[in-house]
């Protein structure tokens, strides 16, 4: 009896493994930054290029860094969600304006509203490479000490915000006392 059971069990295990594999999205590449300190950066601010936005500005609080650009369709999709999140005042959202035209970026914010506490301009994409960005929109969540807690790839939705971000934000605050 076991003679026949072994191949059947092996087959069933393989089917199970492949079934699980099929459900995964190969375009979502897990970030090696999670659990590590955020990369240092210094970018001119979109609304005041004489001042820099640096990683020090994000420290000391739970913060979000949202990678966006006016050429990015997904960023347009998630814009209303970002506005809604910024209205809750839960965490400040910092923007990384990725390989964009600053004039267009400012016009976009004027037209659609500005959810960002501050925005850094990454015109040549170097900061984005340090963060392992490969497609906008991407959103990073950082603890007050600058540790990267979570990365979301694809447009943010309220559902993702409530399911993935809020529990982590509260845990990060709880950890800080």
Contact positions toward other proteins, by CB under 8 A?
A: 26-27, 29-33, 99, 124-126, 128-132, 134-135
Nearer to other proteins, 92 or 132 (CB): 132
Nearer to other proteins among residue 34 and residue 158 (C-beta): 34
Closest approach of Cβ 164 to other proteins, in Å? Answer: 19
C-alpha span between 120 and 39 (Å, rounded): 14
Choose between 75 and 85: whose C-beta lies nearer to other proteins: 75
Q: What is the residue-wise DSSP string for 150-163?
A: EEEES---HHHIII
Least distance between other proteins and beta carbon 135 (Å): 6
CB of 154 to other proteins, least distance (A): 14
Q: How far is the CB of 35 from other proteins (least distance, A)?
A: 13
* Separation CA 52–CA 60 (nearest Å): 17
| DSSP code string of 50-70 | TSEEEHHHHTTS-EEEEEE-T
* Cα–Cα separations (whole angstroms), residue 12 to 3, 7, 19, 20, 69: 15, 8, 10, 12, 46
Q: Which is nearer to other proteins, 87 or 126 (CB)?
A: 126
């Amino acid at each position: 009896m076991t003679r026949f059971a072994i191949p059947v069990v092996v087959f069933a295990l393989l089917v199970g493994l492949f079934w699980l594999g099929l459900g995964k999205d190969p375009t979502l590449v897990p970030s090696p930054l999670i659990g590590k300190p955020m990369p240092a950066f210094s970018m001119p601010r979109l609304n005041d290029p004489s001042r820099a936005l640096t990683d020090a500005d994000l420290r000391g609080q739970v913060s979000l860094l949202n990678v966006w650009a006016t050429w990015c369709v997904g960023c347009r999709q998630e814009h209303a969600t970002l506005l809604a999140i910024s209205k809750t005042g839960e965490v400040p959202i910092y923007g990384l304006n990725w390989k964009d035209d600053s004039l267009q970026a400012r016009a976009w914010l004027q037209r659609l509203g500005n959810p960002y506490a501050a925005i850094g301009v990454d015109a040549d994409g170097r900061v984005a490479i340090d963060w392992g960005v490969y497609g906008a929109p991407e959103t990073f969540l950082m603890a007050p000490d600058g540790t990267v807690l979570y990365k979301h790839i694809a447009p943010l939705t309220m559902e993702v915000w409530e399911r993935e971000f809020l529990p982590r934000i509260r845990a990060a605050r709880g950890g800080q006392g």
